[in-house]
Structure 1
């Protein structure tokens, strides 16, 4: 039974991942978030709740104890959060990290859509996101970075992956698709080790998200 720490457990993708892990695996989940009451009902035999901020290093380090996999899905200023996660995982001896971030980290989005992304997200946010990803990539962690296209709430699971150094293909992807990839990585931790992957819905290419 793997132990999985979900950082940002009330996020919309994280909630989909949590539901599927409870239904489809025997994993024990540690749900890490700032306001625990937002979770609703938990399964005491399968879930542990930690109410704390990622910037609270001591709480984060303690939550790492006994974990096999860390899945992080955060927003806001990402560089200090990434620094805290890498530091805590390294100190606790936890190696496997799955981190969801945005597209454009490696200037891999071509054409008009790529230019639009840079403008829409903004240079400050893009710079912060790139610094956060760099901290993870140069660490000793066994990471998978998931560079997601613009997210939709359609229930359909339909996605394609491209590796780092390959041009981004589409403009959008469902949260259900990103959750499906994360569940697969948790079920098979050797899958896509030390990788930065883009994820999009096939056929969604264009100048703007559809």
Structure 2
């Protein structure tokens, strides 16, 4: 039985990496949802493609229907998006959600880097924390993913921290986050109802990411 996976925000950089890891898996059926479907034409032979707006309930409902896993990689009105995703998934009895959030939403980043991160991201953290609160208050089998500051390095190297633990490191590659998401899709029992920090090991010796 194939796992039917919906990717929301499929044109995003992290989502593109996750799709690359998943697109040739024989046991996975991908549906890609984005505001501009033209950005996904290279996947027409390996996935269903839907153009739409996550905040359009009827479009989202049609996309979620019949799926096993929803992976959301979104920006913008993330609180409203989180509320509608939870509502529509409940309506369709779809339980498994992977939701990309942000480093620092729980003030979990220690030291000078944590202070810099909070000051730099500001209201962005407030928005993503409220979105995470919506998801964590739901009955869904969620994983909230909190990446460190993102790089475009062509590498997969990461370590994980759980909610309640101090965040490690300052940066991580988008490709690494895509690999972690793909691993969750392939092993959906992992990290259920948890919020996971993801960073590259041995990058915690500065007060900001090395590329800043």
**TM-score, normalised via structure 1 length:** 0.96
Unmatched tracts of structure 1, length 5 or more: none
Deviation at 1:127, TM superposition (A): 1.2
SS at match of 1:70: strand
Deviation at 1:23, TM superposition (A): 2.4
* Preserved contact between residue 4 and residue 29 of structure 2 (Cα < 8 Å): yes
Distance in 2 (CA, whole Å) between partners of 1:148 and 1:25 is: 28
Give CA-to-partner distance per residue, 1:93-123, whole Å, 9 cap, x none.
Answer: 100000111111111001111111111112x
Give CA-to-partner distance per residue, 1:73-101, whole Å, 9 cap, x none.
Answer: 01112101111111111111100000111
SS at match of 1:40: helix
Report the equivalent of 1:195.
194
Deviation at 1:155, TM superposition (A): 1.0
Report the equivalent of 1:5.
6
Between the two proteins, the alignment pairs up a number of residues equal to 208
Distance in 1 (CA, whole Å) between partners of 2:19 and 2:26 is: 10
Distance in 2 (CA, whole Å) between partners of 1:142 and 1:190 is: 9
Unmatched tracts of structure 2, length 5 or more: none
Report the equivalent of 1:65.
65
Report the equivalent of 1:100.
100
**Which structure 2 residues correspond to residues 1-210 of structure 1 after superposition, within 5 A?**
1-44=2-45, 46-122=46-122, 124-205=123-204, 206-210=206-210
Q: Please provide the CA RMSD for this pair.
A: 1.0
* Preserved contact between residue 40 and residue 49 of structure 2 (Cα < 8 Å): no
Deviation at 1:25, TM superposition (A): 4.1
Give CA-to-partner distance per residue, 1:16-43, whole Å, 9 cap, x none.
Answer: 1111111244311111111101112333
Deviation at 1:47, TM superposition (A): 1.4
* Preserved contact between residue 23 and residue 47 of structure 2 (Cα < 8 Å): no
